[in-house]
Structure 1
Amino acid sequence: MGFLSSRRKRARLAPELDDQELGRLLKSLLATTRTGTIATTDLCMAQLSRLLDQGEGDWDRRTHRIDVVADFLSASHLPRSWVAREPRNATALVLHAWTQAARVDAHDQGGDTSDAAESCLRAAELAPDDPTPWVALLKVARRERWRQPQVFGVWNEVLARDRWNREAYMNMLAYLTPEEGGSRLQVLEFVDALVARTPANAPCVGTELTAQVLQYRAILGRGGYEALVARTHWSQGMAAQALDRVVHTWGQPGFLRHAKAIADLNLLAYALMAGDRRAEARAVFEAIGGVVTGWPWEIGGDPLTEFEQAQRRATAGQ
């Protein structure tokens, strides 16, 4: 990925991150759907197909694009309409299932994912080498609270097709938390196994730090004395080790090349500031270039406000 210059950029929420083609698609979809004409669906389907089917085999980029588009269209009828018109289009089926999962909060068991699993399995049959139907099914499994043997079966199907799929690792991490289908011990075992074998710049390399941010959020959520001293979480044990492992490499130009690299840099900047490691955070903010992700800045309030305040603190006194 190409990093932006160190000159301060105006902060902005950009779900597409540095994927300019994806950003143009989102703007085009927004403009097209506003017209309300009969031809709108056909035009949108053509736009989606052109981008989402681009570069077959780059599963990291394809997963990122489907994830962002599904969130963008979570309140739209478009994915369902696309499947109705092209029932044997694997991309349409995956987007439809992913969009259904995006509508349902991870802690809400009442959401509608009624035909999402079937859509994933049909897509997997149509595109046997593509991991995204299985990633989508993993998301559906979380929403529907599948039992662990079933979820691990889906997980293994993803890994057989894309060993370091970031979205799959993040979903498994969330599923294994005590808040969903697992325990703190399972999270630790999952992260330990990951750290032991993952290349330093793999797409899923942010999983370990994400686990620490999730634990930090849980500490803040408990309130009281623990929340008051939550900063110490980042100065000891596994949290400090997680930061130390990546702080001097992630911000280097060209080190992280996966589609959601800027999301991982946002994660790192947040963790460094939470641990009051301001000098190290400065270089990370420069690499981010003002492209802000909702997570994890939303933990403290409005993401843009939290990001800008943290950036000012990091650069104060230079």
Structure 2
Amino acid sequence: MSRLFLLLPVAAAAVWFVQRYREGAFNRTKRPRLPAAAPAQPAATPAWVYRPEDYGLVADELLDTRLPGPDTELVKALEAASTGDWAPASELLAASDPEWRWIRVTVLASAAAEDDSWVRAWRAARPGDAAAVLVSAESLVALAWKLRGNRGAKDTTREQFENFHRVLAQASGALAEAARLAPEDPCPYIAMIRVALGEGWAHEHMHALWREVVVRAPHHVGAHSAALQYWCAKWRGSDEHMHAFAESAVAQAPAGSLLPLLRLIALFEELHEEQRSHPRYQSAEATAAIDALFADLAMAPPGHPWLPAARHLLVWFLRAQRRTVEAAEQLRLVDGFIGALPWRYYLDPVAFYCSVRQNLVLAAAHLIREAEEAKMNEARTMER
């Protein structure tokens, strides 16, 4: 009896549980299913982020490090050469005057220093073609300097020097052949200047080579630019030799030749490792050199091959003189091409140019805005 009494609460609890279960008291409420997460969208570029395209400039990744300025035919020749087709390069050089010819030969030769299969095919097809021999010879000069590296003598290994001089000797013989095949062409003699620099020719020997150049092309900017390197303090001359050479060339130059560019090249060679605050950048000499080049630019023919190189250096010196708006104007005229001084002196010319360009363009835009606002305020004041 006592056991039955003890079971009564259990039975009552069971009856209550069954009744409540039927009423649905113990059914779990289903959680609402969350909608599937939308795929992540790329973050929009914030409006304040600088993009060169927004200022009418070429995108960083499209900058051409080979050329100082536009040369559609040369680009086509380079593209053809990369596929093994040498004919466009041959035709282009045959149609080029000595100034254009030298610029194009050096660019084509730089490409051949990386892969000369197309030049070898050219020479095989036309053994007596002076242009083919010249490009091949200049490619050896470019290769020799590449093997040497761009460090100072104390940081260059014995092996690098041996390879440098071995290939440079080959280039010397090839250039002699190019000169024999085209006796009136100054380009083989101009190319020999870098051989003379590398081999450490005495001044007397260099003077003899220079006479061969000027008798063929007395006002050739490319030739003078190459020779100025020989007379630099870092090579076979001094600051005094270098500036004297530049002044002598400018004194004899016809209007519009762009030889006044040499003064800025000489100043750049002297100062490029200095801060922009260096007093020589602000000197009367630097200002006179800038102004003289501007005057010569105005008289130069529109298609002068050294116009882009002149503008690149003007960007550098105008910026150093805080002539920001003028510097930005010159930069816009050559933007997209950085195969020139000052950019090619830097280990990463693209990064350096992009940094200078951004600072310069933004600063110029700010100054122009300020000038426009000042004019508007002045106009309002006059109306009152």
CA contact (8 A) 1:249 1:255 kept: no
Provide the residue aligned with 2:363 in structure 1.
313
The alpha carbon displacement at 1:294 in A equals 4.6
Are 2:76 and 2:88, in contact at CA under 8 Å, matched by a contact in 1? no
Q: Say if 1:303 and 1:22 are closer, same or farther in 2 by CA, change over 3 A.
A: farther
Backbone CA RMSD of aligned residues: 2.6
Shift of residue 297, structure 1, vs aligned partner: 2.5
Larger radius of gyration between Structure 1 and Structure 2:
2
For 1:294 and 1:61, the matched residues in 2 are separated by 15
Could you list the runs of 5+ residues in structure 2 that have no partner in the other structure?
1-54, 154-160, 369-384
Of 277, 286, 294, which aligns to 2:323? 277
Aligned to 2:78: 26
C-alpha change, 1:256 and 1:215, in structure 2 (3 Å) is farther
Count matched residues. 290
Which residue in the other structure is 2:132 paired with?
A: 92
Residue 89 of structure 2 aligns with which residue?
A: 48
Taking structure 2 as the reference length, the TM-score comes to: 0.68
Take 1:228 and 1:133, find their aligned partners in 2: how far apart are those partners?
Answer: 37
CA gap 1:307/1:21 in 2 versus in 1, 3 angstroms: farther
Which residue identity does 1:308 align to in structure 2? R
1:249 CA displacement: 5.4
Q: Which residue is equivalent to 2:291?
A: 244
1:1-318 matches, cutoff 5 A: 8-10=56-58, 12-13=63-64, 15-16=66-67, 17-30=69-82, 32=83, 40=84, 44-55=85-96, 58-78=97-117, 79-80=119-120, 82-83=122-123, 86-105=126-145, 109-110=161-162, 111=164, 112-218=167-273, 220=274, 227=275, 229-230=277-278, 232-247=279-294, 250=297, 252=298, 255=301, 257-299=303-345, 302-309=351-358, 310-318=360-368
- CA–CA distance in structure 2, aligned partners of residues 117 and 155 of structure 1: 16
Asked if the contact 1:191/1:208 (under 8 Å) is kept, the reply is: yes
**C-alpha displacement at 1:217, in angstroms?**
1.3
Is contact 2:66–2:107 with CA below 8 Å preserved after alignment? yes
Give, in whole Å, the separation in 1 of the partners of 2:80 and 2:86.
12
Change in 2 beyond 3 A, CA 1:273/1:62? same
State the alpha-carbon separation in 2 of the partners of residues 228 and 286 from structure 1. Answer: 21
SS across alignment from 1:104: helix
Q: Normalised by the size of structure 1, how large is the TM-score?
A: 0.81
Identity score, percent = 24
2:130 touches 2:178 (CA, 8 Å); kept in 1? Answer: yes
Q: Secondary structure at the match of 1:295?
A: coil
From the superposition, tell whether residues 298 and 120 of structure 1 become closer, same or farther in structure 2 (CA, over 3 Å): closer
Q: CA deviation at 1:22?
A: 0.5
* Kept after mapping to 1: 8 A contact 2:232/2:269: no
| C-alpha contact 1:135 1:168 (8 A) present in aligned 2 | yes
Q: Cα distance 1:88–1:273, how it changes in 2: closer, same or farther (>3 A)?
A: same
Letter in 2 for 1:305: C
CA contact (8 A) 1:165 1:203 kept: no
> Would you say the 8 A contact 1:199–1:205 is kept in 2?
no
Separation of aligned partners in 1, 2:185 and 2:352: 33
Moved more, 113-122 or 280-289: 280-289
Distance 1:25 1:209 in 2: 31
Unaligned runs of 5+ in 1: 1-6, 33-39, 221-226
Kept in 2, the 8 Å contact 1:22–1:51? The answer is yes
Q: 1:120 to 1:204 in 2, by over 3 A?
A: farther
Does the 8 Å contact 1:164/1:203 carry over to 2? Answer: no
Deviation at 1:159, TM superposition (A): 0.9
Instruction: Give the CA deviation at 1:138.
Output: 1.6
Q: Which residue of 1 aligns with 2:8?
A: none
307-316 vs 45-54, greater mean Cα deviation = 307-316
CA contact (8 A) 2:309 2:340 kept: no
Instruction: Measure, in 2, the Cα distance between the counterparts of 1:116 and 1:69.
Output: 16
Q: CA deviation at 1:284?
A: 1.5
Decide whether aligned partners of structure 1 residues 312 and 69 sit closer, same or farther in structure 2, where only a CA change above 3 A counts: farther
